[in-house]
Chains A and B, each alone.
Chain A
Amino acid sequence: MSTQIPGVSTEQGLKTEDLVVNIGPQHPSTHGVLRLITTLNGEVVKDMEPIIGYLHRSKEKMAESRSYFQYQPTIDRVEYLSSFFDHYVYVSSIEAIAKLKVPKRVQYIRMITMELNRITSHLLWFGTFLLDLGATSPMFYAFREREEIFKLFEDLTGARMMYNYYRFGGVNADLPVGWIEKCRKVIRNLPDRFDEYEAIVTKNPIILDRTVGIGKLDFQTCMKYGVTGPSVRAAGVPMDMRKSNPYCCYDEIDFDVPVGKYGDVYDRYLIRIAEMRESVKIIEQCLDKIPGGDTQNILNKQAEIEAARKAAKERGEDPKSIPDIDPDWLTQGQKINLMIYKPPAGEVFTACESPRGMLGCYLISDGTPKAYRLKWRGASFSNLSVLPELMIGNLYPDLMAIFGSLDVILPEVDR
């Protein structure tokens, strides 16, 4: 009885020993390839060390060997669930360096697509998070709506997930004729569908048991680890880039930033559902306010101007006396040759509010067609680093609830 082996304790006459469990890198619930070296004392997590890097694809080095435009398609792969946001920060950082003017219609198209993308991202989170907790049916509901939005994206950009749609100072193409009406139809149904989800999940006693009071994250801990996004809003702090540092035209839109109270897993779930409802509100306002309205309207106007110019020429007047189309209606501000585009030398840090938190892009340009240095500040990278703090002292079965509620996406962590 007197010899004490390190790491082995004797409680109530039973010999107990810490158990090291290696979770991952291939694990269905890690949403990518993440390895967690977990030390367990019974069912209680004693220590946890996340090992990342299995998905490192050297996106930052790639930026230094490709022209700005060539690099653009690869951005979709930095974070494939909400790649409109990555494109936005990249494109807006070049616009900031080169001081390119962006037409208002483009800003609105970007806001609509980003908010739709936020909904698809949250829907996928909703499905997979509940799947981790053992509820299989919400996944099918979530993917039904997600597919409808993907059809809109396919109509607009030609791709379901890898969009590559934004351009420096504009977008690739205008909205297809009738797209706004189609989008309205999809959006109109969504709040009812969210009610449906909440009817299944929000008051479900099993879900409540698994989520309420678990994985509490307060504001100080969020700041300690650099956590942003829905997790910090669930802790009761309305920290949202769209409100605090409005980009695009978010300052013209009326929307709320939902905040939680306790910062637990359940609050993070409620926040994301509330955010999807807010996104629907934003998209509805954008569709009403978009300069130029439906594309058919713009085409008609262009035909009108051309006809008027032709008539003026026949009358012997100067055709240039007929004014051009409103520059806010265009989909490209300044005409630039994308293939050889060189922004002036300079550096910039731009950030936006992605579904996972603050997404940043630090770009140094030296005036050549290639970026000198490009750094992605993915929200998931910091959000993942808080996981050991949340898990230590908690039960092992809560791992999937807590990890799932952080909404970490590994390609963004490893880049």
Chain B
Amino acid sequence: MSEEKKENNSGNASNKETAEASAPAEKQPAAAEKPAASPTPAASAAKPAAEPPPPPPAGEYGQALEKAGIPVKHLGKDASGCEMIELAPSDVIKGATFLRDEAGFDLLLSCTGVDWKERRESVYHLFSTKSHKFLALKVPAENDHSPSLVPVWNAADWHERESYDLMGIHYDGHPNLSRILMPSDWLGHPLRKDYKVDDPRLVWNER
């Protein structure tokens, strides 16, 4: 019961933040840092670009998915050249099956949750043992619910449990969605940005 209460509270908090913040979350913290640029060359190199970046070009696997009739949001490439795509929760099982069977991504490396304050998403990192390429597959979690990819990659089992445990994303269809790293009676999800240690059993912590 108490856990539900906690989750409700955190849900309200994130809703309030949504009302305040209208700009996209990724750019906001970087822009806030801009006036505080220090005189070191490294810090000035970190200055974000002023104009909004052009939409990232479609990558190899994003195009292949589009050709197969699965709507994809292209997110460009990360700093090490790994392609990033986003699939809607309704298409993710279809898209993931395509990636496994047709694009050759047979190894799921990790699944993790990312908290962007007003929304959360899970990020799957895939590896192909044939083409030796990495792929980041992002799935937005609507109301902290996301379809489980265990039917596609069995390796997602423990990784999704970890993501649920630490970030509180519920993977629908997961065979055993329980806490894995934290104790089973833990309250809240520690990797969330709004997580506060207010467990009454931990009062000794404040001494």
Contacts and interface: CB of A to CB of B under 8 A. Distances in A.
A54 to B, nearest CB: 9
Given A52-B181, A61-B190, A346-B78, A239 B45 contact: no
A237 B106 CA distance: 14
B191 A367 contact: no
Given A348-B78, A349-B136, A225 B112 contact: no
Nearest to A360: B109
Contacts, number: 134
B43 to A, nearest CB: 5
Contacts of B47: 344
A351 B135 CA distance: 12
Contacts of A224: 154-155
Given A223-B106, A372-B29, A382 B46 contact: no
B74 interface: no
Contacts of A228: 107
Interface string A214-226: 0000000001111
A343 B46 contact: yes
Nearest to A346: B79
B33 A368 contact: yes
Interface stretch (B55-63, B89-97, B124-132, B198-206): B124-132
Interface in A34-54: 52-53
Contacts of B114: 364, 373
Contact of A336 (B29, B40, B182): B40
Interface string A359-372: 01010101110001
Interface string A297-341: 000000000000000000000000000000000000011110011
B42 A342 contact: yes
A56 B84 CA distance: 29
A193 B190 CA distance: 47
B45 A344 contact: yes
Contacts of A334: 41-42
Contacts of B123: 362
B48 A344 contact: yes
A375 B112 contact: yes
Given A224-B155, A226-B107, A366-B26, A349 B46 contact: no
Instruction: Name the residue among B41, B45, B127 with the largest chain A CB count within 10 angstroms.
Output: B127
A385 B158 contact: yes
B64 interface: no
Contacts of B45: 98, 344
14 contacts: A53-B181, A53-B183, A60-B191, A98-B46, A99-B79, A223-B106, A223-B155, A342-B42, A345-B48, A347-B78, A367-B33, A367-B48, A375-B112, A385-B158
Given A349-B136, A367-B30, 19 more contacts: A226-B155, A237-B129, A244-B132, A334-B42, A336-B42, A341-B42, A342-B42, A346-B79, A347-B79, A349-B78, A349-B125, A349-B134, A351-B127, A360-B110, A373-B115, A375-B110, A377-B109, A382-B155, A385-B157
Interface of B: 26-27, 29-30, 33, 38, 40-43, 45-48, 78-80, 82, 84, 106-110, 112, 114-115, 123, 125, 127, 129, 132, 134, 136, 153-155, 157-159, 162, 166, 179-183, 190-191
